[in-house]
Amino acid sequence: MTGSRLNLILILALLASLVAAVLLGETAFSGAQIAEAFGAPASGPGEVLWQVRAPRAVTALIVGAALGLAGAVMQGLLRNPLADPGVLGVSAVAALGAASAIVIGWAALPGAVELSALVGAGLAGGLLVLFSARVRSPEALILFGVAVSSFAGAATALIFNLSPSPIASAEVMSWLLGSVQNRNWIDVIWVTPTVIVAGALAVLAAPGLRMLSLGEETARTSGLPMARLRLLALVAAALATGAAVAVAGVIGFVGLAAPHLVRAMVRGDPGRLLAPAALTGGLMLVLADLLARLTPTDQELKLGVFTALVGAPLFALIAWRAAKEWRL
């Protein structure tokens, strides 16, 4: 399958999922009410569709696309199918920044928590860039990322444990579980430019990632500037992950699984994988959020919990099938 055809199929599937996410929900609307929402956006049904469901669905799309893109970039840079922003600690440090802002009391300031998460992701990305400049081994970079992730997770748990306010503790826990509930168009406007910049950097890194798939020594002898490639890839992944965590909290699995679902369709080319992985991540999260909303529970499932419950078994199946192929 050509890359353009695959992207077209994914875009059409995304559009269909967005329509379903807007029209379906806990409150069922009749055909007349849906027509009223389109004809009079300020009406009751119009407010629900365009000011509640639509921004929530678009936020899920952007967050999923950011995570899918970050996962594809990391897996291409490290040539490791298990690499994702969570493994390298970017998500954990971003969550630490958001948790710190909540406990300090900055949650009342518009955009303070989101900005703190983005700063945390930038800090993690900066540490990875500095480390990669001194140590070239991808394995060492992964181990360093795991150490950063562990430390940030422990610091977040410490903040949660020492929080003097139960309300702040509840907000931190809600953030760590991940959700796009109650997101509005301001959140969409805020997060979109950051993800676009991350996408542009990833596109600049794509030729290098493709060359790197031949092996680091081959790529270096071919004139590939490895320092520039690492900088572009790590900054792109940090920006995309930071934006996702800033607007939706910690949502796992998407960055790891989205590239795997489409890698075979692009014949393992890490350069061609970026766009399909981003589209697949967006599609996954829109559908996951829709299913989380439609699941008949007393309290709505958090999106991060839902993606882990549904996605982990699916990813285990993918890994099992891949292992069978490796044994052949």
Average pLDDT over residues 44-60: 89
Structure tokens at 292: 């989380």
Predicted pLDDT at 326? 47
DSSP state of 50: I
Main-chain dihedrals φ then ψ at residue 110, nearest 5 degrees: -60, 125
- Asked if the model's pLDDT at residue 94 lies above 90, the reply is no
Q: Which residues have C-beta within 8 Å of that of residue 81, sequence separation ≥ 6? A: 75, 259, 260, 263
- 174-229 residue pLDDT tens: 778 888 888 889 889 988 999 999 999 999 999 888 888 777 677 777 777 877 88
Q: Which residues have C-beta within 8 Å of that of residue 221, sequence separation ≥ 6? A: none
Q: Which residues have C-beta within 8 Å of that of residue 285, sequence separation ≥ 6? A: 60, 61, 63, 64, 67, 180, 251, 254, 303, 307
Q: What pTM does this model have?
A: 0.89
Predicted pLDDT at 123? 87
Neighbour count for residue 227 (Cβ, 10 Å): 11
User: What angle separates helix 112-134 from helix 138-162, to the nearest 10 degrees?
Assistant: 150
Assess contact for 259 and 321: CB atoms under 8 A: no
Tell me the C-alpha distance between 87 and 96, whole Å.
Answer: 15
Say which residue, 35 or 65, is predicted with more confidence: 65
Share of the chain above pLDDT 70, in %: 94
Predicted pLDDT at 317? 73
Residue type at position 135: V
Say which residue, 158 or 138, is predicted with more confidence: 158
- Asked if the model's pLDDT at residue 46 lies above 50, the reply is yes
Specify whether the backbone of 253 is left (phi greater than 0), alpha (psi in -120 to 50) or beta: left
Q: Please say whether the dihedral angle defined by the alpha carbons of residues 76, 81, 86 and 91, taken in this order, is positive or negative.
A: positive
Predicted pLDDT at 321? 67
Structure tokens at 22: 């807007």
Length of the chain: 328
C-alpha angle 44/46/50, rounded to 5°? 130
Share of the chain above pLDDT 90, in %: 21
Residue type at position 173: M
- Asked if the model's pLDDT at residue 79 lies above 50, the reply is yes
Average pLDDT, the chain: 84
